[in-house]
Amino acid sequence: MKRPNIVFIVADDLGYADLGCYGGRDAEFGPVSPVLDGLAARGLKFTQGYSNSPVCSPTRFAMITGRYQYRLRGAAEEPIRSDRGSTTLGLPPEHPTLPSLLKDSGYRTALIGKWHLGYPPHFGPLKSGYEEFFGPLSGGVDYFTHCDSRGNHDLWHGEEERHEERYLTDLLTERAIDYLDRMAAQDAPFFLSLHYTAPHWPWETREDEGRAPQVKDNLFDLSGGNIHTYRRMVHHMDEGIGRIMSALERNGIDQDTLVVFTSDNGGERFSDSWPLVGGKMDLTEGGIRVPWIAHWPALIAPGGVSRQHCLTMDWSATMLDAAGVAADPAYALDGVSLLPVLRDAGHHFQRPMYWRMNHRGQQALREGDWKYLRVDGNDYLFDLSADERERANKARVEPERLLRLRAAWEAWNATMPPIPADATVSLGYSVKDMPQR
């Protein structure tokens, strides 16, 4: 089989039901995500796809390494803040990554969009396998000024600061199209990470440039936004993905390109996660179950739906497998290749999935239909086959199952480095700002 081109599209803080193909409702202007809905219909939709973490940078550590993020110090930050100059809080350049392994095998590699894995001079995309980079380094920037939460201008081309006067979602799309056009003229396969900042705060559509001065000192935008603005932001991203797909078709490379779409974690304030409960920073389903879509006409049959349980880091293993590239034996992958599932949507295999969070002492394990969850010292047990909303706690009626799953989680956790005492949790808001998340 010919080695595919790979386009890895990641949304930021997108809720499970923000897309129409996952049950999302239409907006006042019509369907929110017609392009992604069509991509799912022509490809494979996963209904049990999870992020490695309910917050940005930890998931991105897992996504780029194919390993549980807990193995790296920087991923203990929930998330990495906008402080610059740290020598420890970032992705070590010597660590093998998905782009570095692909590059070493002959792929061209680029990241267009959000990095959020540490700051120069010690860390950066060009130090970790990407040949090209355009985007912000921090966790969130204004869509028009491109400044981060501390007021630092944060838009880069390679390692040089770049000033552009465009809505960021559109700017990233246009850069990605330019990259695809250039790569189509070359013989080598390519790997493009397109990591949108949408629909992360601040709440700004293409028409909201006038809001930029208002949110300059409060990028969390606590007094702004609404569901209508939020849906527009998702729609802008969806339109951009439509342009990406058109560029692949125009260049005649769509059949041999694996396109993957997912989110780094569950939804934020205005997200829709129905029927799930919780959101960003939570290990309840709404914080970690996210949209997962794969499209690859040369391999994936249209209209497939998979209930395979999977984690973000599995995409790294899958993409390496599809490219015929072996992982570094000194850094064995925790992710599992989903290539058999891409070939046959009915293929299914059993595997446990583990999480932990410093925030609220959260820990979770999903094994089959059952989920063990611990929050604030309280143990919960849910049968997700009957109760995706995690409202019927079975801990009292299934004590043996609870003990077994808790012991399994503790055994797994013992194989991971402990959470450092100086690890930080950065919450942008609390119950003082809004009554319920």
Q: What is the pLDDT of residue 283?
A: 99
- In this model, does residue 1 exceed pLDDT 80? no
Kindly list the distances between the CA atom of residue 53 and the CA atoms of 74, 77, 282, 426, in Å, as whole numbers in the listed order. 14, 11, 9, 14
Q: What is the pLDDT of residue 427?
A: 82
- In this model, does residue 202 exceed pLDDT 70? yes
174 and 317 fall within a common domain: yes
Domain tally for the chain?
2
276 and 395 fall within a common domain: no
- In this model, does residue 66 exceed pLDDT 80? yes
Phi and psi at residue 173, to the nearest 5°: -60, -45
Sign for the pseudo-dihedral over CA of 250, 251, 256, 261: negative
The closest alpha carbon to 8, from 156, 107, 79, 154, belongs to 107
- In this model, does residue 293 exceed pLDDT 80? yes
The closest alpha carbon to 6, from 347, 248, 237, belongs to 248
Query: Looking at the domain assignment, is residue 258 inside a domain?
Result: yes
Query: Looking at the domain assignment, is residue 433 inside a domain?
Result: no
Query: Looking at the domain assignment, is residue 216 inside a domain?
Result: yes
70 and 172 fall within a common domain: yes
Query: Looking at the domain assignment, is residue 437 inside a domain?
Result: no
Is the separation of the CB atoms in 391 and 398 below 8 Å? no
* Domain-ending residue, one of 343, 377, 396: 343
| 357 DSSP β-pair partners | 362
307 and 396 fall within a common domain: no
Burial 176-188 (b: 16+ CB within 10 A, else e): bbebbeebbeeee
* Domain-ending residue, one of 343, 368, 385: 343
122 and 226 fall within a common domain: yes
254 and 384 fall within a common domain: no
Structure tokens at 309: 């349980």
Q: Supply the CATH number for residue 99's domain.
A: 3.40.720.10
Q: In this prediction, what percent of the chain has a pLDDT beyond 70?
A: 100
How many whole angstroms separate alpha carbon 151 and alpha carbon 82?
10
* DSSP 8-state symbol, 267: -
Q: For 392-417, what is each residue's pLDDT tens digit? A: 999 999 999 999 999 999 999 999 99
Q: For 325-362, what is each residue's pLDDT tens digit? A: 999 999 999 999 999 999 999 999 999 999 999 999 99
| Confidence band of 436 (pLDDT split at 50, 70, 90) | low
Query: Looking at the domain assignment, is residue 13 inside a domain?
Result: yes
Q: What is the pLDDT of residue 378?
A: 98
Q: Supply the CATH number for residue 364's domain.
A: 3.30.1120.10
Q: In this prediction, what percent of the chain has a pLDDT beyond 90?
A: 95
Q: For 232-285, what is each residue's pLDDT tens digit? A: 999 999 999 999 999 999 999 999 999 999 999 999 999 999 999 999 999 999
Query: Looking at the domain assignment, is residue 275 inside a domain?
Result: yes
Q: What is the pLDDT of residue 437?
A: 57
220 and 123 fall within a common domain: yes
Q: For 160-184, what is each residue's pLDDT tens digit? A: 999 998 999 999 999 999 999 999 9
184 and 90 fall within a common domain: yes
Query: Looking at the domain assignment, is residue 432 inside a domain?
Result: no
133 and 35 fall within a common domain: yes
| Confidence band of 319 (pLDDT split at 50, 70, 90) | very high
Phi and psi at residue 170, to the nearest 5°: -70, -40
246 and 278 fall within a common domain: yes
CB-side neighbour CA atoms (13 Å) of 112: 21
306 and 391 fall within a common domain: no
Compute the mean pLDDT over every residue in the chain, rounded to the nearest whole number: 97
Domain assignment of residue 404, given as a range: 359-413
Q: For 5-45, what is each residue's pLDDT tens digit? A: 999 999 999 999 999 999 999 999 999 999 999 999 999 99
- In this model, does residue 81 exceed pLDDT 90? no
Q: What is the pLDDT of residue 142?
A: 98
- With residue 304 as reference, give the H or E element that holds it: strand 304-306
Q: Tell me the mean pLDDT in the region 64-71.
A: 99
309 and 195 fall within a common domain: yes
How many whole angstroms separate alpha carbon 420 and alpha carbon 426?
15
Query: Looking at the domain assignment, is residue 289 inside a domain?
Result: yes
